[in-house]
Amino acid sequence: MFHKKGNIFHRGSQDLVSAVEYREAVRSALTYELGGAGRAAKATIKWTGVSERTAKNWIAGSYGPSGEHLIGLMKHSDSVMDVVLELAGRHETLAMQRVEIVRRELREVLKVLDTICAADDASSET
């Protein structure tokens, strides 16, 4: 049932994130990862297909992306993914994601080291 006055729905839970907090978190993540407003706007447009004005509004924190656009941003931006998980209270998911990133990077470093060691072994045998 709707209230007789006003058009704002009042939240019943203190765990919900405010619109201002959400907009600021997305703004902060985009500018952290993408730098200045011009570069950030171009990447945001490319990732989501939104207009330049919409991208600039997100970067300025005037508005926040809707669900489908947020998912598009999360696909391309680790910073946006991190702040969304943080806002959702999913610290353990964020920690596990970071552990997986470190594991992936370590595998790459080990491959390079194996290649270097193999080259050194081959050169010392000759």
Phi, psi of 93 (to 5 degrees): -65, -40
Which amino acid is present at 117?
C
Confidence band (pLDDT; 50, 70, 90) for 40? confident
> Nearest Cα to 32, choosing from 88, 95, 86?
86
Confidence band (pLDDT; 50, 70, 90) for 11? very low
The answer, yes or no, to whether residue 93 has pLDDT greater than 90, is: no
* Mean pLDDT, the chain, integer: 83
Instruction: Encode pLDDT of 19-37 as tens digits.
Output: 889 999 999 999 998 887 7
Instruction: Encode pLDDT of 57-92 as tens digits.
Output: 999 999 999 989 999 999 999 889 888 888 888 777
> Nearest Cα to 45, choosing from 25, 32, 30, 62?
30
∠ Cα 90 94 99 (to 5°): 145
Phi, psi of 110 (to 5 degrees): -65, -35
Please state the rounded mean pLDDT for residues 94-103: 84
